[in-house]
Amino acid sequence: MTSNYVKLGVEIAGVKFKAPLLPASGTFGVGIEVKDVQFLNQLPGLVIKTLFLNPRPGNPPPRLYETPCGLLNSVGIPSEGYDVFIEKYEAFLSSLNIPIIISIGGETVEDFVNLACLVQQHKFVSALEINVSCPNIRRGKRFDDSIADLRELLAALRANVHKPLFVKLSPRTEIIDRVSVVAEYGGDAVVIANTWTGMAIDVYRKRPVFANIYGGLSGPAIKPLTLALVWQVAETTKLPIIASGGITRGIDVLEYLMAGASICQVGTANLINYTSILKIEQELVNLMRDMKIKDVVEIIGAARRE
Amino acid sequence: MEKFVLAKVYVNQAIDYEHRFLTLHCPGLLDDFHPGQFVSIRCNNGGFDPLLRRPFSIAYVDYNEKTIGILYRIIGRGTLWLSKRYPGEYVDLLGPLGKGFQLPSSGVHNIAVVGRGTGIASLLALSKLAITKGYKCYAYFSFSSKVLGEWILNNFKMFFEKVIISTDDRIIISDILANDLRNQYIQVSKIYVCGSKRLILGVRNICSKYHIPAEVSIETFMGCGVGLCKGCAVRLRSGTYAYACIDGPVFDVEEVEI
């Protein structure tokens, strides 16, 4: 094992991950698409594509638009709904030996709470990621746009959910206020951050490329932006930070950890190569050996220390 | 199952100023191949611009040489990068991906393939399989490039009982197939199409008129190519979505909304 020389393990809210890397929700489906259970069991964990209580078709095509070093998506979270999801995937997910985080979405507080209560009953679920930040549902309007809505949601979730809650926020300058709400209402970690809102225009048709107008920008293009957010959030909160934004290499993970993140999510890189996480993990190990870092926990926030 | 391979460039032949035929050596990838499937190529030198892999239909498989052939047009940064790969270089390839064509299990052992431009690529692979299984194959191809049309004729005419190639944009090649069926010049038990919207709609009309089943290979933007990102949605006539990378790229022509 590569980790003989360096310790990669991290723990968030009692969930143990053997390395500080996870796939980002929406870029790894349910995992079953990869068809290779042996490979999946080598991952430090799995974050399932956002699940809704009821089936949703997702947005009409086109759903993707490539930008320089980035990807705009307007996928719109197609979901089979809870009942079909459990029927189709429970046996598969239960057969894996890694922590499984289910990302959940909803359009109302009631939707979120009902789904969270159903999801948390399943043994294979280690934690819930609360997706309050998808820009692709209501013409760019996100659940965490309103602090009052976020407060109401988290209060209701915490009152009903005993499994760890990781709250995935939208990138924005006022993110600190949202992080405070998550801390105040008992969230166990924040995911910084979802995709950045962007758009593209088809000049020949004189119309936005996406039917929903806006899309979410991801990929290496956004890494400096999200890194700055992680830095700002780490300054003001003691909550563990799960960083997500343009991670494609081991050195990106080190940057995010040094800025204050405890664990990183790899998203768009999975679409180029679904084995990216293992490659990034190996690069991280090599870097840590070169830099004589013995334990990944040592470097969390290292760039902030005086 | 799909594999990641580093495939060696054998030839990257320029057919005309914008069309190329790329031959890649990729042993180990051919055993699971079925015509209609595609490969996904990382069109950069290990960097992230262009970011995503590009999907290409497999046009030809040589089991002796262990090579695949890809017919492509230079339309953007990815294909421009690919056009500059020289023999001996390697490209990062994932495949074979998707579900391919199904040959007809009943009826006469004749099929028709209808395509336009580089859309004919997967039809070439299908035609090769069809003749080895004893089917007669009638081809109706249209090209905007005369040079490409001649090149296809010179290199692939041995697969076909009859080939009609049009380089006149005013002619809809499916109309010629319709005419041949109407006059009973040919009889086919299945039609395969890949190309423009009007061509696919033309084939759909033929199918309903003559009660012949048909399959279409859909060309669309793709993200991961393996079903993870849900980016390549294809709207079905039932009102739901399917995904070109895992549910297709081959669909029943009656099933998809064109």
Q: What is the ipTM of this complex?
A: 0.93
**pLDDT, tens digit, 9 for 90 and up, residues A177-190:** 999 999 999 999 99
Work out the burial of residue B158: count CB atoms within 10 Å of its CB; fewer than 13 is exposed, 13-18 middle, 19 or more buried. Answer: exposed
Query: Are A71 and B49 within 8 A, CB to CB?
Result: no
Chain A CA closest to residue B234: A61
* Mean pLDDT, chain B, integer: 94
3-class state of residue A93 by DSSP: helix
Closest by CA to B135, choosing from B164, B106, B99, is B106
- In this predicted structure, what is the pLDDT of residue A3? 46
Pick from B49, B230, B234: which is nearest to A78 by CB?
Answer: B230
Pick from B53, B226, B241: which is nearest to A78 by CB?
Answer: B241
| Residue entry with tokens 């040489």 | B65
**pLDDT, tens digit, 9 for 90 and up, residues B184-211:** 899 999 999 999 899 999 999 999 999 9
Token pair listed for B214: 């048909």
10 Å Cβ neighbour count for A144?
A: 25
> CA–CA separation, B158 vs B207, rounded Å?
26
Residue type (1 letter), B48: F
The residues that bridge with A166 in the sheet, in sequence order, are A129, A189
> CA–CA separation, A85 vs A80, rounded Å?
6
Q: At CA A19, angle to CA A13 and CA A20, rounded to 5? A: 65
The answer to whether residue A223 neighbours chain B at the CB level (below 8 Å) is no
Closest by CA to B244, choosing from B227, B252, B198, is B227
Mean pLDDT of A133-149: 78
- In this predicted structure, what is the pLDDT of residue A5? 79
The answer to whether residue B231 neighbours chain A at the CB level (below 8 Å) is yes
* Pick from A255-259, B68-72, B89-93, B165-169: least confident: B165-169
Query: Are B52 and A66 within 8 A, CB to CB?
Result: yes
pLDDT at residue B33 greater than cutoff 50: yes
Token pair listed for B141: 């191809």
pLDDT band at A140 (very low <50, low <70, confident <90, very high): low
pTM, to two decimals: 0.94
Token pair listed for A291: 């830099």
- In this predicted structure, what is the pLDDT of residue A240? 97
Active site residue A134: yes
pLDDT band at B151 (very low <50, low <70, confident <90, very high): very high
pLDDT band at B1 (very low <50, low <70, confident <90, very high): confident
